[in-house]
């Protein structure tokens, strides 16, 4: 009995520490340009752990619900993204100044030419490919977009991955369950949705799902999405495509 009491007294402080780390608090900060030292407005600040986000106001200020050791992903088009871990010191001090660096990108003239048309209907009708992709709509988006190929071959590829431990989909969907649960949370948070809808670089999406850009493309390829869709869709559309494939995977696995 004495040993049990000693063990219980030893475990209580550890439990208390764990509870403190899980307490949700508000952290605040100001995002400024590291060159001009001026505040930056409309910066997206996302708590990766809780999949919640906010944007900075005209003074570059933000407040966000966090717990100790949560990671914040800070992103804005034209700037280098930044990841910051929430520490006890930050919570005690109340606020912090965070610097963002502008990207140096040299732009060259680009001519967009999807099809080389001749002007003759009989010839041009053969140059334009037939519809190979399907489109559907999701809540929150005004326009629909491509879904995966609904041919029997596409179904077989997803079905086959369930029973093949070496398959990329098997490993991803089987080992990333916690990250994939975030997909539904991402759709509920307006800041996260708006950020993903405006981005095409897969960076934020990769951070939230814990995978890299190459893996995202491979997942969609194995789910029978076209190369054109993978290259041109925004991050919100890519997220929903992965979610759709994952839901199909779960249904097939149960059967």
Whether residue 92 is found in the same domain as residue 141 = no
- Is residue 198 located within the same domain as residue 161? yes
Nearest Cα neighbor of 12 from 4, 2, 23, 1 is 4
Residue 198 within a domain? yes
Q: Which residues contact 206 (CB under 8 A, 6 or more apart)?
A: 212, 213, 215, 216
**How far is 64 from 149, CA to CA, in rounded Å?**
40
243 and 147 housed in the same domain: yes
134 and 213 share a domain? yes
User: Are 214 and 143 found together in one domain?
Assistant: yes
**Residue 208 in domain:** yes
**Which residue from 58, 66, 71 is spatially nearest to 30, judged by alpha carbons?**
58
Which residues lie below 8 Å from residue 35, measured CB to CB, with a gap of 6+? 101, 102
Q: Is residue 49 situated within a structural domain?
A: yes
pLDDT digits (tens, 9 = 90+) for 123-132: 555 555 554 5
Kindly indicate the confidence band of residue 152, based on its pLDDT and cuts at 50, 70 and 90. very low
For residues 76 and 169, state if they share a domain: no
Tokens at 3, concatenated: 């040993």
Instruction: Count the domains in the chain.
Output: 2
Q: What is the pLDDT of residues 46-80, one digit of tens each?
A: 999 999 999 999 999 999 999 999 999 999 989 99
Question: What domain range includes position 213?
Answer: 129-254
Are 238 and 205 spatial neighbours (Cβ–Cβ below 8 Å)? Answer: yes
Say which residues have a Cβ less than 8 Å from residue 187's Cβ, sequence separation at least 6: 140, 193, 239, 240
Length of the chain: 255
What does the pLDDT average to over 26-32?
95
**Greater model confidence, 184 or 139:** 184
Write the CB contacts of 230 (distance below 8 Å, at least 6 apart in sequence).
217, 220, 221, 238
Query: Is 60 exceeded by the pLDDT of residue 148?
Result: no
8, part of any domain:
no
């Amino acid at each position: 009995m004495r040993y049990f009491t000693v063990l219980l007294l030893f475990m209580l402080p550890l439990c208390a520490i764990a509870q403190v780390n899980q307490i949700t608090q508000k952290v605040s900060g100001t995002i400024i340009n590291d060159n001009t030292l001026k505040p930056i407005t409309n910066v997206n600040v996302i708590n990766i752990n809780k999949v919640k986000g906010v944007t900075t106001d005209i003074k570059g200020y933000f407040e966000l619900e966090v717990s100790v050791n949560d990671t914040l992903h800070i992103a804005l088009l034209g700037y280098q993204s930044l990841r910051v871990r929430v520490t006890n010191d930050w919570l005690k001090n109340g606020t912090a100044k965070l610097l963002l660096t502008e990207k140096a990108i040299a732009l060259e003239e680009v001519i967009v030419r999807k099809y080389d048309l001749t002007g003759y209907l009989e010839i041009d009708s053969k140059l334009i490919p037939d519809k190979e992709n399907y489109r559907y709509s999701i809540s929150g988006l005004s326009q629909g977009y491509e879904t995966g190929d609904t041919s029997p071959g596409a179904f077989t590829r997803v079905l086959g991955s369930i029973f093949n431990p070496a398959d990329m989909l098997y490993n991803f969907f089987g080992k990333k369950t916690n990250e994939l649960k975030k997909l539904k949370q991402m759709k509920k948070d307006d800041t996260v949705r708006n950020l993903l809808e405006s981005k095409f670089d897969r960076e934020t999406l990769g951070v939230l799902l814990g995978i890299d850009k190459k893996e995202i493309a491979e997942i969609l390829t194995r789910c029978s999405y076209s190369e054109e869709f993978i290259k041109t869709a925004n991050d919100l559309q890519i997220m929903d495509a992965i979610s759709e494939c994952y839901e199909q995977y779960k249904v097939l696995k149960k059967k």
